[in-house]
Amino acid sequence: MKKTIFFAGFFIFAANFFFAADEGRKFEFKYREGDNFGLISTVDETVKVNGRLNHSAKIVSRVTERVEKVDENGRGWICGNFMSSEQSHSADNNGGSWKWGENFESNFWRAKDGRFEIDSSYFMPVIRDLPVFPDKMLKTGDEWTAEGYEAEDLRRQLNVEEPFFVPFTAKYKYERDEEGFSSDSSRTKKIFAVISAKYTLFYETEMEQTKNGFTADFPVTTMGFSDRTIWWDFEKGQIDHYEENFRIVIETLTGNEYQFSGKTKVEYTEFKRTATEEAVQAVLEKIDGMGLQDISVTKTDRGLTISLENIQFEANSARLEKSEKTKIKKIGEILSSYPDNDLLVSGHTARFGSEESCQILSEQRAEAVADFLTNLGIREKKHVFTQGFGSKVPVASNSDKAGMAKNRRVEITILDR
């Protein structure tokens, strides 16, 4: 009987959805003050220089956005944090953890139609004003165009110290409505609007631009394309996930050619803020109820950090002792309470030997704990990052065994940013 009611309710919902869709639907971003959004972008990229393979890589980018305020026009003031981690395809990508990379901050307004208002000094986000929606009702099959631009980061390749802007005109089409599951941990069944967004690039740098920000070499011509499919969540007024094929070719003044091509998959989630006194107390109570020892919990600028002090590995190695695996399994139960928050596992050592050996060991131990968590199914690998600090961040003196035990620790941060 309950199943009959459920399916009847669903068909009523679906019928109402498609009836409304027949009348046309208004696409617009919805911003609510205090909302926290995160996205994980996975890119398989190939880089060629002058026609020869330079390297192939898998890049995981983590973005968090917090809506700090919403104005009378419905624009959201968004504070963002961007981090990328890269692995060469020659590495063991299936077994290796993702190391925490460089952070970039970015603050901007974004309107209901999707357009950005952002200071020209920010490198992130790279793709701006996409998608952009027209101020009218749209039906499946409707097409439109809108201007956008890329903000390329060429500091590493060409020593360009400011974002390099490349304009484009995107062609959009409301392709269809499609049933699927949300990309967050709830895996809620929904009906998404599927939108295609395509653009080509052909941009020749004006010589006047070369006077600012460039050294001996600079981009002369930028060419390429992006072919993106977006799954739009009407209920949230946000993108749920998207996929992209891309290629960018940059020709420089000295005749060099850089080609970047690949595929991107992006999933969006909403996550809990954990750096609160209430969250700290709740986690401490769970740890106390489990009877766990040598564990502290603090709120940090990145989130809520659970510190496993005096963690036991086999002598001078990164292999966890059996007793520590039991402890981490219990910690995993706590981490499961925050399924849409990414994790950062940080390794620390007591001071012994060279700092170089301490650094290597701290990284290996962080990776061991991260791998154990992913093998338990607590998170997918792309949602767990690692970082090693060697003996550079002690919490006690290394002059006695008690202090060294505190410094020999692994910290698991439930990330807010």
Q: Write out pLDDT tens, residues 204-243.
A: 987 554 445 555 578 899 999 999 999 999 999 999 999 9
Q: What's the full length of the chain, in residues?
A: 417
What per-residue confidence (pLDDT) applies to 178?
96
343-348 β-sheet, strand order: 98-99, 384-388, 343-348, 409-415, 303-309, 295-299
Helix (H, G, I), strand (E, B) or coil at 69: strand
What per-residue confidence (pLDDT) applies to 117?
97
DSSP state of 320: B
What per-residue confidence (pLDDT) applies to 16?
47
Q: Write out pLDDT tens, residues 255-297.
A: 999 999 999 999 999 888 888 999 999 999 999 999 998 899 9
* Domains, the chain: 2-270 (no CATH), 277-415 (3.30.1330.60)
pTM for this entry: 0.85
Q: Write out pLDDT tens, residues 158-188.
A: 777 888 899 999 999 999 999 999 998 888 9
Those residues of the chain that have pLDDT short of 70 are 1-22, 88-96, 207-216, 316
What per-residue confidence (pLDDT) applies to 407?
81
Q: How far apart are CA 53 and CA 238, in angstroms?
A: 37
Place of tokens 């890119």: 43
